[in-house]
A and B are shown apart, each in its own frame.
Chain A
Amino acid sequence: MLFQQILNGLTNGSLYALMAVGVTMVYKSLGMLNFAHGDIMMVGTFITLTFVLMGYPLYVGIALGVISAAILGFLLERAILRKVKFTSFVNLLIATVGVSYVLRNAAMVIWGTSPQLFPSMFPETLIEIGNFRITPQSIGVILISLVIITGLHFFFTKVKIGKCMQLANSDPEGAAMMGVNVTHMRFLTFGISAALAAIAGIMIAPMTYARVDMSATIGMKAFAAAILGGIGNLWGALLGGIILGIVEALGSAYISTAYRDAFSFIILFIVLFVKPTGLLNKKIENKL
């Protein structure tokens, strides 16, 4: 029972981590949270579902869903955020909230509000080890998330474009002087962040059904995970996501199922109150 719950927590947690990585990337380049992150995830998931229902194979659907989410991320950056006048930080944040509102309501019109079955990309048969039953789904989800996050780590530390992105985010003027196209890098940051969100959404949907309101709850959990681990930190996002997932699983198993979604927000409150910089960040970032 305990083992099962921890495994559930790890599965959900690695998905929150995948979302949180995207949140963290955008935070680094923009200095604020992208409140439309969850909605981009939801739209990517539904686009995949639409292609699958049209008769395309699942993998084609996934590819198209992820690509369209990335395009949505590009559009968000190019058409909205770049147009916001930097009179105050509030305007930028509210613009992302506005995009979230538009996407959510558009999704409700296009795909309806009722939950829909989503095909899983993993086999159904259970793997039995002794007394424990493990679904291939949880193993697959955890592995894919780990591989993606490790891959991103290498991308940011070893690959030239990744390094340029890091530099453009931490020191835009310096990067521009070194000949890095900061605008393109920011563009790319949004695209990758949105694509990661869509991948997470596609793996979450088979477990919870594809539903329009998943954008709000999962989006908020991604923020909570990113802040818990220390925003701007790749491994922090992973740690935050996994802690959040396990606390949620244990809390709903042993305390109350009804308050399942509240646990992550209570953790968020505690982290913001005790250590707003998160677990893995030491420096206090004075960004507004």
Chain B
Amino acid sequence: MAKKTNKKSLLAKIVIIAAIIIIIPFLTPNMYIMQIVNMIGIYIILGIGINVLTGFTGQLSLGQAAFFGIGAYVTAIMNTRGGMQFLACLIGSMVITGIVGAVLAVPALKVKGSYLALLTMGFGEIIRIVMINWTPVTNGTAGILEIESPVIFGFSFDTLTKFYFLIMVFVILGILYEDILIKTRTGRAFVAIREDNEAAELTGINVTTYKIRAFVLSAVYSGIAGCLYAMMIKYVSPDTFVNNTSNIILWTAIVGGFGTVVGPIFGGIIMQVLPEVLRFLGDWRLVIYGVILLIVILRFPGGVYPYIEKFIDRIRRRKKSDAAGGKG
């Protein structure tokens, strides 16, 4: 009986989510807002990536923009110079960011806490400096122009609305994979490492390989986001992949709910919508944006999602007790 209702509510959830996803493009009045919606999708993928690394495994990263940038640049170079299509670029971005993630994991295994934060931040800076100075490959500060729209089996995703559905496919796959991963042995090992490194090691978890796995996974997520970003904006430059972007990616995971599966969705929406809402403040909007985020971090240390969950739970319980009271 309980199983049946579970199945039913799952089905209902799927239908509601599918309906929301399909309706969104019809509700957006213009392409500018469509682009913001797409950016939300990209930031959700980035948020999931850092959530795996920092939220679940507890390895703080302040250089996530580097992976995002590498993913975008690999796609841009493969597409404009090699003339390759979307799927090839996507695989290229995933493989190369994965390798870079594994390489960064080697020094990162030795340190933790603020040292790790600094190491990842330095990594981000090095990648940015390379992007600016390795002109023959990256075209320097000018960036790479004229990236083509993705084409899959002859179907071209040439408008932002079409692109939206492509991004949503990756967002859903990304969330499902994260959800499944967390329930497996790997996911439990990640959480064990976050809670207590030494204890995890004592119980026989190979901390080294799991940490490397978390780094690679997080890098690959960012690589996918980078590939989608490059194909959507059609232009990449080092200005996008700066320290500020790393901070925003980290906040996307934190503001939503650190170490929760759906946290990055809330984070992605809040982080992308807030600056647009604050546009009336003019130049000061980024300052106010930072202040608001700071307040959120101080007021809701675990992100907003756990509080939303608690709030919904309280309403539900009140309804239940009301119903019970009515019967009595």
Q: A interface vs B, CB < 8 Å?
A: 27, 32-33, 35, 80, 83-85, 87-91, 93-95, 97-99, 101-102, 104-106, 108-109, 216-217, 220, 223-224, 227, 256, 258-259, 261-262, 265-266, 268-269, 272-273, 276, 287-288
Q: How far is the CA of A83 from the CA of B298 in the complex (A)?
A: 7
**Bound Cα distance A90, B119 (Å):** 15
Please, what's the 1-or-0 string for B238-273, where 1 marks a CB less than 8 Å from any CB in chain A?
000001100100110010001000000000000000
The residue that B107 contacts in the complex, of A35, A84, A97, A272, with Cβ under 8 A, is A272
Contacts A97-B250, A269-B107: A105 and B290 contacting too (C-beta < 8 A)? yes
Contact B115 A272 (CB under 8 A): yes
Is A265 a contact partner of B125 (Cβ separation < 8 A)?
A: yes
Docked-complex contact A272 and B125, CB < 8 angstroms: no
> Which among B251, B283, B297 has the greatest number of chain A C-beta atoms within 10 A?
B297
A87 in contact with B133 (CB, 8 Å): no
Q: Report the minimal beta-carbon distance from B168 to chain A, rounded to whole angstroms.
A: 29
* Choice from B60, B112, B122, B244 contacting A224 with Cβ under 8 Å: B122
Q: Are A276 and B111 in contact (CB under 8 A)?
A: yes
Complex Cα spacing A262 to B132, Å: 12
Residues of B within 8 A of A27 (CB): 114
Number of residues from B at the complex interface, CB < 8 A: 44
Of all chain B residues, which has the CB nearest A273? B107
A262 near B110 with CB under 8 A, answer: no
A220 engages B122 (CB within 8 Å): yes
Interface flags for B120-155 (1: CB within 8 Å of A; 0: not) read: 011101100110110000000000000000000000
> Does residue B302 face the partner (Cβ distance < 8 Å to A)?
yes
* Nearest 7 A/B pairs, CB to CB: A102-B290, A265-B122, A33-B114, A105-B286, A98-B294, A258-B133, A288-B113
CA distance in complex: A88, B54 (Å): 12
Q: Does B291 contact A (CB under 8 A)?
A: yes
Name the one of B110, B132, B294, B302 contacting A80, with C-beta atoms under 8 angstroms: B294
Q: Which residues of B contact A262 (CB under 8 A)?
A: 125-126, 129-130
Tell me the dominant secondary structure on chain B's binding face.
helix
Instruction: Determine if A272 and B111 form an interchain contact, defined as CB atoms under 8 angstroms apart.
Output: yes
A-B contact count (CB 8 A): 118
Contact B60 A273 (CB under 8 A): no
A259, B127: Cα distance in complex, Å: 11
Bound complex: CA of A259 vs CA of B131, how far in Å? 11
Can you list 26 A-B contacts (CB < 8 A)?
A32-B114, A35-B117, A84-B297, A90-B60, A90-B254, A91-B297, A94-B254, A95-B297, A97-B62, A101-B290, A101-B293, A104-B244, A105-B286, A109-B287, A216-B125, A217-B125, A220-B125, A258-B129, A258-B133, A261-B129, A265-B123, A268-B122, A269-B122, A273-B106, A276-B115, A287-B113
A contact patch SS: helix
B301 part of interface (Cβ distance < 8 Å)? yes
**CB neighbors of A among B31-71 (8 A):** 54, 58, 60, 62
When chains A and B are docked, how far (Å) is the Cα of A220 from the Cα of B120?
11
Give min CB distance, A57 to chain B, whole Å. Answer: 31
User: Quick check: A109 and B247 within 8 Å, CB to CB?
Assistant: no
User: Known: A220-B125, A258-B133. Is A98-B302 also a contact (CB below 8 A)?
Assistant: no
Residue of A nearest to B243 (CB): A216
| Known contacts A227-B118, A265-B122; A94 and B287 CB within 8 A of each other | no
Set of chain A residues within 8 Å of B129, measured between Cβ atoms: 258-259, 261-262
User: Taking CB as reference atom, which chain B residue is nearest A262?
Assistant: B129
**B284 at the A/B interface (Cβ < 8 Å)?**
yes
Tell me the smallest distance from the CB of B20 to a CB of chain A, in Å: 30
User: Which of A91, A99, A223, A268 has the most chain B CB atoms inside 10 A of its CB?
Assistant: A268
B118, B123, B258, B289: residue with the most chain A Cβ atoms closer than 10 Å: B118
Task: Tell me which of B121, B247, B250 contacts A220 (CB under 8 A).
Answer: B121
Is the CB–CB distance between A272 and B250 below 8 Å? no
Q: Among the listed B123, B258, B283, B294, which residue makes an inter-chain contact with A90, where contact means beta carbons less than 8 Å apart?
A: B258
Residues of A contacting B254 in the complex (Cβ-Cβ under 8 angstroms): 90, 94
Residues of A within 8 A of B119 (CB): 268-269, 272
Max chain B C-beta neighbours (<10 A), residue from A98, A108, A268, A276: A98
Whether B118 pairs with A33 at a CB distance below 8 angstroms is yes
Chain B contacts of A109 at CB under 8 A? 283-284, 286-287
Q: How far is the CA of A223 from the CA of B112 in the complex (A)?
A: 15
CA distance A104 to B294 in the complex (A): 14
**Are B114 and A106 in contact, with the CB atoms below 8 A?**
no
* Cβ B111 vs Cβ A84 within 8 A: no
- Complex partner residue of A95 from B133, B250, B258, B294, CB under 8 angstroms: B294
**Nearest A residue to B298 by beta-carbon distance?**
A83
A105 to B114, Cβ gap below 8 A?
Answer: no
Residues of A contacting B123 with CB < 8 Å? 265, 269
CA distance A27 to B117 in the complex (A): 14
Supply 8 further A-B pairs (C-beta < 8 A) apart from A102-B291, A227-B118, A272-B107: A32-B114, A33-B117, A87-B301, A90-B254, A95-B294, A95-B298, A262-B125, A262-B129
Residues of A within 8 A of B258 (CB): 90
